[in-house]
């Protein structure tokens, strides 16, 4: 697979009928679900689960998505999504990059850059990234 950056974390999806919109291709909102799913899978692999987030009273909330849709996906197609942590300021912000590829022809269908802010789960107020986040995420940062 031709990835935009080295060392991607990847996961595969099969496009289901539920993902298809009235234009007969994957609805744009479905890509956000893929983004969320691969982000959590990557986080879990790095050692941070939702249970850890709850214990630490922290969440990484999306503050900005920049998405480029370059080609449609259709029902039954096999897709592979890659993600990288590309920015980590050790204070409040994290950024991920994503690339979605159709496996059959290796065509890139979507690219996304997402910025997150660290907040408390209980109040939603901005808070510093906890040490446990630094330990898990900082070694995974890939430079562009």
pLDDT in tens, 23-64: 999 999 999 999 999 999 999 999 999 999 999 999 999 999
pLDDT in tens, 9-23: 999 999 999 999 999
Instruction: Locate the domains of the chain by residue range.
Output: 9-140
Question: How far is 144 from 142, CA to CA, in rounded Å?
Answer: 6
The band of 106, judged by pLDDT with boundaries at 50, 70 and 90, is very high
pLDDT surpassing 80 at residue 144: no
pLDDT in tens, 57-85: 999 999 999 999 999 999 999 999 999 99
pLDDT in tens, 119-142: 999 999 999 999 999 999 999 999
The token pair at 53 is 């987030």
Q: What CATH homologous superfamily does 9-140 map to?
A: Hotdog Thioesterase (3.10.129.10)
The band of 143, judged by pLDDT with boundaries at 50, 70 and 90, is confident
């Amino acid at each position: 697979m031709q990835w935009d950056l080295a060392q991607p974390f990847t996961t595969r999806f099969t496009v289901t009928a539920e993902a298809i919109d009235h234009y007969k291709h994957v609805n744009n909102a479905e890509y956000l679900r893929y983004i969320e799913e691969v982000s959590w899978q990557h986080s879990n692999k790095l050692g941070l689960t939702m249970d850890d987030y709850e214990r630490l009273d922290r969440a990484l909330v999306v503050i900005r998505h920049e998405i480029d849709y370059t080609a449609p996906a259709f029902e039954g197609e096999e897709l592979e999504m890659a993600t990288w942590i590309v920015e980590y300021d050790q204070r409040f912000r994290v950024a991920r990059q994503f690339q979605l590829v159709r496996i059959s022809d290796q065509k890139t269908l979507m690219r996304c850059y997402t910025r997150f802010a660290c907040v408390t789960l209980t109040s939603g107020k901005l808070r510093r990234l906890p040490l446990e986040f630094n330990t898990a995420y900082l070694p995974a940062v890939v430079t562009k």
